[in-house]
């Protein structure tokens, strides 16, 4: 069954490459969503510490924006919308 073993290895390699592509695609999508498309395009960051802080801040802001949007559009959060501070 040596041929079967080669096919299995090839199939595992293809799955691995596809998962890497998916992961890279997800990272690209996140960077674009956070307005860091230039980081993806240039594949470099001038100040790593500053970049990480910026990422954290933008993720927090995005979360707040998306949460507020969901609340505004929610028919179940009518009372909350009127009493929130």
Q: Supply the pLDDT for residue 82.
A: 66
- Give me the pLDDT at residue 17, please: 58
- What are the Cα distances from residue 6, in Å, to 10, 12, 17, 18, 32? 6, 10, 16, 18, 39
Tens digit of each residue's pLDDT (9 = 90 or more) over 55-76:
999 999 999 998 888 877 877 7
pLDDT reported for residue 26: 85
Whole-model pTM: value is 0.59
pLDDT value at position 1?
47
pLDDT by residue (tens digit) across 23-44? 888 888 888 989 999 988 888 8
Residue 76 is predicted with a pLDDT of 74
Could you give the C-alpha distances from 5 to 11, 14, 18, 68, in angstroms and in order? 10, 14, 20, 53
């Amino acid at each position: 069954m040596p041929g079967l073993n080669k096919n299995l290895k090839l199939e595992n390699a293809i799955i691995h490459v596809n998962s890497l592509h998916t992961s890279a695609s997800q990272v690209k999508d996140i960077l674009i969503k956070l307005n860091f498309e230039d980081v993806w395009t240039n594949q470099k960051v001038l100040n790593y510490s500053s970049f990480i802080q910026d990422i954290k801040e933008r993720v927090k802001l995005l979360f707040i924006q998306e949460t507020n949007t969901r609340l505004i559009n929610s028919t179940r959060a009518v009372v909350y919308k009127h009493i929130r501070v």
